[in-house]
Every structure is written in structure tokens, then in C-alpha cells.
């Protein structure tokens, strides 16, 4: 049952001994020689982590309720990992369905030139950080949200939770009237903040991918380490910068199934998206076994791979265009000897062998996991919300949905029914449970008039606006294929899932 925005009573202001905390970024006084009891504040929701997920949740929650929210973030500003991203990263999906519901990211237009021509624009990291700064300003202006930057949220203090300033060490105790929202459960693991699992000896040149742009002078070659999207971005950036493909060596412990960006398009191009979903479901419904499933998904263009001769064992929702794929295929020196163990000045030791290297070679670390793998847990539990995926790899849509469900429903059992956790995929066969969970959730949402209406309004919903394309025969045929195959596909995938070995999960770096 939907709730009116005014349902939640106006939030108390803090009654701490230091008086009300500011509504803008929290600024505290310098440490004093005399120990003081921690300041105390109260709120309805303490959101831990002001990354993409925490912000999308808070935005959707306050749009549908009068709740008071404290956002706690250990970085200086909002936007999470995007603040430390490598300089040439872009969203791999269109900006049109990333961010928060209340503010457009970019201009919802289709690029007419450049490598993304024909597709909806994709924001750079700088654009995303600027966007999240504006989002934060909107949230603060609502009067419902306070932001504590440079603050670690830790357990402890008289009320169970406290914010500890990373600048002064001062603690602020937080009494949470409703829920603590864990928006860092799936915190991204990124090159700038991770430590590689291998070392480099003196004389061997190893750089994090972020430092590629700082190189000056020539290198005898580039060895890119990692099989995921970051490594692909690094390879494409080198190729676009004029580095010949034969000078690039790519250590790819695992090959990945990838998604074709053509089928990830919203708004005017949403027919492509629906067609893609319908083809995936048809492939699943008709598959005879798991091998046949992946063969069908590839034949209908819903999964693509870098090397037609190598069966991918990884699936992490990475998205590429056909142009990017063609570009990446120009790199023929691919090393498949498992993970790097150690880089010496003259050789690289890998799990399954060694290869020569030299002091002029730049080794580029792209081995951070990106998506964090964590076991599923109930999204809604007593006093706590844990933001997780529901629709596969749509972190901002999922966080906003959880925010809306929290504001509009009263019973945790119902909320958890609407928001089943769907762990990020890692291995190829994780495509199977991820698709099952997402399809079952979609069926539940479509049976709920209020939630369906919310989804149609939500800019983060990639599939919004389907009704505006019903005059297009491609759309009607895609919808017919989708509805005919959804049930049989889930049934078939559940049988594959039940077979031992097929739903095996590996927690590993790429
Ligand atoms: C390079 C890259 C590209 C990506 N591209 C896309 C894309 O195109 N589309 C897409 O949907 N997804 C993409 N993703 C997935 C990405 O993980 C999400 O889009 C999203 O940004 C993750 O947001 P998050 O809030 O879950 O995590 P984070 O951005 O990691 O935010 C978590 C925040 O919690 C804070 N925090 C942690 N612990 C504490 C604590 N104790 N106290 C206070 N604060 C704390 C951290 O400082 C951090 O800011 C990409 C990921 C990477 C790495």
C-alpha cells in the first residue's frame, strides 16, 4: 500500500550537547585538550556510504516519504568509487538510466559522432562526480538530508552507531529511529584503492591503471594484467592513443562473456532492449543443456566474447560495442597461464608458467575486482537495510527501488518479496541464477499496480516507456516473444540451476 509523502512525522533535530549539526557538510571544531562526550544526533535513516547506491536509495526514499536521513561517507564527497576512478573511464551503460531518479545525468541524447555514435551518451568519471555533487546539493536543499563527509561509520557509542571524523577523530553518536542502511555492502573494489595479489621486484615497472595517463617517454611494450572491463578500457585507450596492437600483451586469466551495448539502450531505442531480453528468454526456454544455452545466447547476440576459439568462464556484466570488440580483437598476444604471481625484472611468474619481460615493459595492473562479491542476505531485516542487486547489475535502479519499497510498504515480509537479493555474477554459469531471480522479481513487480506505476516514472528503469513504442512491429513482436518465453525460461533455468556444479560461485579477482 503506497504511503503519502507526509506519512513519516517530521524528524527530530539533534539534541546533542553541541547543538544542532549543520545541514550542509558537517564541520566540527578542532580537537580540544579536554575530552568531551560525543555529540549526539537522531535520524530516521542512517545511510552508510554515499556512493551511487546510497544516493539513489536516499533520493527515492525522501521522494516518497518525509523521512529524515543522515548520509555518512568516509570520502570527502559523494559519488563513491567514481572519485578515484581511472581518468579515461566512462559508464559502460547509457547515462540515461544511471544516477538517481530525481536528476537527469547528461542530456538523454544519442551521440551522433565518435566511438559511441548511434547510442545514448555515456558519462565520464568527471561528469559523474559533478553530477553527484549536484545530487547532494538537491538532497540537502530538501531539508530532509544531512551529509557527514570524511566520517567513518562504526559500531559503538551509546546508541549503537557512531560517526568518527577522519579529520579530528571526534565521534558523533547517532540514534537511529528506523533503520541503518548499509550502502557499502557491495562497495566497489577499484585499482586506486586495492592492493594487487602479486608483487613486483625492483627493476620491474608495475603501475596502477590510473597512472597510465601520467606516463612520459616510450616503453618497449605494455603488459595489461586482468581479464575484466578495466583491462578492456586500458587496452582500448592504448590502441586509441596510437599504440600498435603488437606492442600490447594482455594477461587474461579468464575470458568473459560480455553484453552488446546495442541491446542496452533506453528511451527512443528501448525496442532494442526489449528485443534483447526476449531473445535471451527464448534462448533459455529452448536450451537443452547449459552448453546449448550459452551457444544460443551467443547466436542471438545476447552474449559476445573476445576470442571465438576460447570458451568464456566469467560473466561480470561488462558491456562493449561491436566497434570496441573489433578493436580489442586486434590484440593477439594474449597470455592464458592463470594469474600473475610475481613480476621480476626479466620474467613474469604466473600460476601456470612463466613468460619473459624486460625493464622497458610497462606492466599495467587492472586486477581489481570491480564488482564486489558478497553472499545474499535479506534486504530488509530488523533495524537494517542492506542494499543489494535485484535486477541483474543495475545498482542504482535497485537501490532506488529499495528506497521506494521502504517508504511505501509496511511489512518486511512483503518488502523482501519485492526485493529478493541477487548477488553480482562472477562465473559464466552465474548468468543462470541471476536471470532467474531477476525474472521472478519482475513478474512480482508487474503484478503490483503501484510498483508498476513507480517503475514507469523511474528514470533509472532502463525499460520505461515501452508503451510509447507499441506501434512499432519490432516492439510488439519482441513483447510477444518475451511473454511467451518468460515462464518456460525460468522453469528451464531452475532445472539447470539445480544440477550440481552449474551454480558454482567463485570469489576471485579477474
Ligand atoms: C570502473 C567501474 C565502472 C562501472 N560502470 C558501471 C556502469 O556503467 N553501470 C553500472 O550500473 N554500474 C557500473 N559499475 C558498478 C558500480 O559498482 C556501481 O555503478 C556503483 O557506482 C557502485 O556504487 P556503490 O554505492 O555500491 O559503491 P561505492 O561507489 O564503492 O560506494 C560505497 C561508499 O561507501 C563508503 N564507505 C564504505 N565503508 C564506510 C564506512 N564504514 N563509513 C562511511 N562510509 C563508508 C565508501 O567510501 C564509498 O564511497 C562500475 C564499477 C566500476 C568499478
Beta strand pairing call for 145-148 and 69-72: parallel
| Secondary structure string (H, E, C) spanning 109-168 | CECCCCCCCCCECCCEHHHHHHHHHHHHHHHHHCCCEEEECCEEEEECCCCCEEEEECCC
Q: What cell numbers appear for 8 in the block? A: 513519516
Give the mean model confidence (pLDDT) for residues 85-97: 96
Residue nearest to atom 11 of ligand 1 (CA): 394
Q: What cell numbers appear for 204 in the block? A: 620491474
Q: How many residues does the chain have?
A: 510
66-79 pLDDT, tens digit per residue, is: 999 999 999 999 99
In angstroms, the CA 209 to CA 464 distance is 36
Q: What cell numbers appear for 362 in the block? A: 610497462
Residue nearest to atom 51 of ligand 1 (CA): 370
What does the radius of gyration of the chain's CA atoms come to, in whole angstroms?
Answer: 24
Q: From the CB of 152, is ligand 1 less than 6 Å away?
A: yes
Q: How far apart are the first and last CA of the chain?
A: 43
In angstroms, the CA 198 to CA 343 distance is 8
100-151 pLDDT, tens digit per residue, is: 999 999 999 999 998 899 999 999 999 999 999 999 999 999 999 999 999 9
Nearest ligand 1 atom to alpha carbon 190: 53
52 Cα–ligand 1 center, Å = 6
303-324 pLDDT, tens digit per residue, is: 999 999 999 999 999 999 999 9
Residue 317 vs residues 134, 267, 351, 424, 431: alpha-carbon distances, Å = 28, 21, 26, 9, 9
Binned at pLDDT 50, 70 and 90, residue 38 comes out as low
Binned at pLDDT 50, 70 and 90, residue 156 comes out as confident
Q: From the CB of 85, is ligand 1 less than 6 Å away?
A: yes
Nearest ligand 1 atom to alpha carbon 368: 53
Beta bridge partners of residue 427, listed in sequence order:
314
51 Cα–ligand 1 center, Å = 5
Residue nearest to atom 49 of ligand 1 (CA): 80
**Model confidence at 20: pLDDT above 60:** no
Give the mean model confidence (pLDDT) for residues 49-60: 98
Q: Is 274 exposed, middle or buried (0-12, 13-18, 19+ CB in 10 A)?
A: buried
Q: What cell numbers appear for 434 in the block? A: 541471476
Q: From the CB of 184, is ligand 1 less than 6 Å away?
A: yes
Q: From the CB of 235, is ligand 1 less than 6 Å away?
A: no
Compute φ and ψ for 326, nearest 5 degrees.
-60, -40
**Model confidence at 504: pLDDT above 80:** no
Residue nearest to atom 48 of ligand 1 (CA): 80
In angstroms, the CA 20 to CA 10 distance is 15
Q: From the CB of 317, is ligand 1 less than 6 Å away?
A: no
94 Cα–ligand 1 center, Å = 17
pLDDT the model gives residue 506? 38
Q: From the CB of 404, is ligand 1 less than 6 Å away?
A: no
Residue nearest to atom 35 of ligand 1 (CA): 49
79 Cα–ligand 1 center, Å = 7
**Model confidence at 33: pLDDT above 60:** no
**Model confidence at 34: pLDDT above 90:** no
More confident residue, 321 or 503: 321
Average pLDDT score, the chain: 90
pLDDT the model gives residue 318? 95
User: Beta-carbon neighbour count of residue 498 at 10 Å?
Assistant: 9
| CB-based contact 23:140 (threshold 8 Å) | yes
Q: From the CB of 53, is ligand 1 less than 6 Å away?
A: yes
**Model confidence at 15: pLDDT above 60:** no
In angstroms, the CA 252 to CA 414 distance is 43
Close Cβ partners of 285 (under 8 Å, ≥ 6 residues apart): 485, 488, 489, 492
CA atoms within 13 A on the CB side of 3: 21
Residue 510 vs residues 41, 109, 225, 311: alpha-carbon distances, Å = 42, 33, 9, 16
pLDDT the model gives residue 19? 31
Binned at pLDDT 50, 70 and 90, residue 501 comes out as low
Amino acid at each position: 500500500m503506497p504511503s503519502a509523502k507526509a506519512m513519516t512525522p517530521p524528524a527530530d533535530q539533534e539534541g546533542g550537547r553541541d547543538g544542532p549539526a549543520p545541514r550542509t557538510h558537517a564541520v566540527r571544531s578542532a580537537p580540544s585538550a579536554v575530552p568531551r562526550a560525543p555529540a549526539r544526533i537522531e535520524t530516521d535513516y542512517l545511510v552508510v556510504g554515499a556512493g551511487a547506491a546510497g544516493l539513489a536509495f536516499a533520493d527515492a526514499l525522501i521522494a516518497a516519504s518525509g523521512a529524515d536521513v543522515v548520509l555518512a561517507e568516509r570520502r570527502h564527497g559523494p559519488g563513491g568509487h567514481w572519485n578515484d576512478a581511472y581518468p579515461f573511464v566512462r559508464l559502460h551503460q547509457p547515462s540515461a538510466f544511471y544516477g538517481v531518479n530525481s536528476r537527469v545525468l547528461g542530456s538523454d541524447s544519442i551521440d551522433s559522432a565518435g566511438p559511441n555514435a548511434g547510442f545514448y551518451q555515456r558519462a565520464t568519471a568527471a561528469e559523474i562526480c559533478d553530477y553527484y555533487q549536484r545530487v547532494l546539493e538537491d538532497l540537502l536543499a530538501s531539508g530532509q538530508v544531512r551529509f557527514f563527509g570524511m566520517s567513518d561509520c562504526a559500531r559503538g557509542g551509546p546508541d549503537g552507531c557512531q560517526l568518527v571524523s577522519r579529520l579530528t577523530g571526534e565521534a558523533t553518536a547517532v540514534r537511529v529511529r528506523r533503520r541503518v542502511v548499509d550502502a557499502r555492502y557491495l562497495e566497489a573494489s577499484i585499482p586506486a584503492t586495492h592492493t594487487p595479489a602479486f608483487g613486483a621486484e625492483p627493476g620491474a615497472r608495475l603501475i596502477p591503471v590510473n597512472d597510465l595517463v601520467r606516463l612520459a617517454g616510450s616503453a618497449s611494450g605494455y603488459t595489461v594484467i586482468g581479464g575484466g572491463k578495466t583491462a578492456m578500457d586500458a587496452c582500448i585507450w592504448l590502441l586509441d592513443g596510437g599504440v600498435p596492437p603488437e606492442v600490447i600483451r594482455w594477461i587474461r586469466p579468464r575470458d568473459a562473456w560480455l553484453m552488446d551495448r546495442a541491446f542496452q539502450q533506453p528511451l527512443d531505442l528501448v525496442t532494442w532492449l526489449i528485443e534483447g531480453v526476449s531473445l535471451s528468454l527464448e534462448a533459455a526456454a529452448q536450451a537443452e543443456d547449459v552448453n546449448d544455452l550459452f551457444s544460443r545466447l551467443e547466436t542471438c547476440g545476447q552474449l559476445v566474447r573476445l576470442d571465438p576459439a576460447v570458451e568464456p568462464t566469467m560473466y561480470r556484466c561488462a558491456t562493449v560495442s561491436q566497434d570496441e570488440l573489433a578493436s580489442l580483437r586486434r590484440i593477439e598476444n594474449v597470455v592464458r597461464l592463470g594469474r600473475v604471481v610475481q613480476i621480476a625484472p626479466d620474467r613474469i611468474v604466473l600460476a601456470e608458467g612463466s613468460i619473459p619481460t624486460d625493464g622497458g615493459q610497462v606492466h599495467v595492473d587492472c586486477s581489481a575486482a570491480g564488482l564486489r562479491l558478497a553472499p545474499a542476505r535479506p534486504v530488509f531485516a530488523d533495524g537494517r537495510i542492506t542494499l543489494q542487486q535485484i535486477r541483474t547489475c543495475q545498482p542504482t535502479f535497485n537501490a532506488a527501488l529499495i528506497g521506494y519499497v521502504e517508504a511505501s510498504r509496511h511489512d518486511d515480509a512483503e518488502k523482501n518479496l519485492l526485493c529478493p537479493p541477487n548477488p553480482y555474477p562472477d562465473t559464466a554459469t552465474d548468468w543462470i541464477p541471476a536471470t532467474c531471480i531477476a525474472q521472478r522479481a519482475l513478474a512480482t513487480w508487474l503484478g503490483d499496480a503501484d510498483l508498476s506505476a513507480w517503475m514507469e516514472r523511474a528514470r533509472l528503469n532502463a525499460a520505461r516507456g515501452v508503451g510509447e513504442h507499441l506501434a512499432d512491429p519490432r516492439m510488439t513482436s519482441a513483447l510477444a516473444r518475451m511473454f511467451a518465453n518468460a515462464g518456460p525460461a525460468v522453469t528451464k533455468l531452475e532445472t539447470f540451476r539445480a544440477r550440481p556444479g552449474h551454480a558454482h560461485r567463485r570469489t576471485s579477482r579477474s
